Amino acid sequence: MQDIINGILKFQHDAFPARAKLFKDLAGGQSPSTLFISCSDSRLVPELVTQQEPGELFVIRNAGNIVPSYGPEPGGVTATVEYAVVALKVTDIVVCGHSSCGAMSAIANCTCMTDMPAVAHWLRYADSARVVNEARSHESAAAKIEAMGRENVVSQLANLQTHPSVRLALKEGRLALHGWFYDIESGGIDAYDGTTGEFVSLAGHPHACATATPSRVAA
């Protein structure tokens, strides 16, 4: 904890004064263009990976970068997605999975989680990805876990589209969805290409998109 306190003091002494105008502007409100949905894993820091400043990303983080399908009892993720699309009018939503994910490993390996019933229940929202991944053959246990992580990104993108606010924004051409998979060791990111159904290097295909607005397709 002392390391965290020292970090706060360093922020107040060094980082905050260097961005004083930015924080003064942000005190009046926010207008992020992107909702970034990622795993809570401490090794994935959205603002660091994307090199964005405060106010530029609206972030949801949870175990397994999961987005439950829209239902009669909306939870925190549902409410946050709705707020981002309706109130903040974000133009892009990114679902970002990552390598060596504990949640995906637990699902792929059918790990017993009787001592963590809440976690087990939460990970049921990745069942469709699990079923698809189980139906495929994998070269190794590690490959199975990584494939599970990628399939989960695709599954959560599908879940997102059950949300009325997202569906309307997509229909009106003012929102695009992106599926990313981050490799912790290399720092590389693969993006899901909705036109081919494959993950491709984001560096080599910077315009790869899971869904695109009509204007972006035309461009």
pLDDT in tens, 149-185: 999 999 999 999 999 999 999 999 999 999 999 999 9
Q: Kindly state the average pLDDT of the residues 15-35.
A: 95
pLDDT of the residue at 198: 96
Domain co-membership, 16 together with 104: no
pLDDT of the residue at 115: 95
Give the integer Cα–Cα distance in Å for 198 and 182: 15
Q: Calculate helix-pair angle for 127-134, 141-160, nearest 10 degrees.
A: 140
Which structural domain, as residue segments, surrounds residue 196? 31-218
- List Cα–Cα distances, 52 to 33, 47, 101, 108, in angstroms: 11, 5, 23, 32
Q: pTM of the full predicted structure?
A: 0.92
Domain co-membership, 12 together with 38: no
Whether the predicted pLDDT of 214 surpasses 80: no
Domain co-membership, 10 together with 104: no
10 Å Cβ neighbour count for 129? 27
Q: Quick check: 144 and 110 in contact, CB under 8 A?
A: no
Q: Kindly state the average pLDDT of the residues 177-206.
A: 97
Domain tally for the chain?
2
Q: Kindly state the average pLDDT of the residues 178-207.
A: 97
Tens digit of each residue's pLDDT (9 = 90 or more) over 48-67: 999 999 999 999 999 999 99
- For residue 44, how many C-alpha atoms fall within 13 Å in the half-sphere facing its CB? 29
Domain co-membership, 159 together with 214: yes
Domain co-membership, 14 together with 95: no
Domain co-membership, 111 together with 180: yes
